Amino acid sequence: MEMLAMLYIWVKAAHIIFVIFWMAGLFMLPRFFIYHQECVVGSEEDSKWIEREKRLKNIILTPSIIIVWVLGLFLAMQIQAFQMGWFHAKLLVVLLLSGYHGWMSAYASKLARGERKMSDKKLRLMNEVPGIAAAIIVILVIVKPF
């Protein structure tokens, strides 16, 4: 039993670490987009931004979201969180944040094709989404309001 308790706290620590990595990437990507949109399509600078965004997605964002989900679901099963109201709310916010991740990845592909459909102002506003989601998730997990 003590071994399972130790495993649980190590998995929880790993989950939090990868949440931090994921959030860092989600904060960086829209900032990259703002700078990327300023350069000329097809230029050397454009190619550099495409490569930076690709690396951010492939090295940080994609592995992190996968690990966060796998470890998070493991932790939820261990504490039977699917029966808790706060967890349902947290799961909804994490699903929305995952959708945001997918949307940002799709926008990176559009930028790589030379499409620049969003304004800098809108991208700056979109940059607030991960912070708001993180605040809500932390409150739900720590306070457990319901």
Binding site for heme: what residues are annotated?
15, 90
Place of tokens 């926008």: 107
- Going by the annotation, the residues of the binding site are 15, 90
- What's at 57, amino acid-wise? K
32: left (phi over 0), alpha (psi -120 to 50) or beta: alpha
Helix segments in the chain, DSSP class H: 2-37, 44-55, 62-78, 85-112, 120-126, 129-143
Measuring CA to CA, which residue among 75, 64, 55 is closest to residue 21? 64
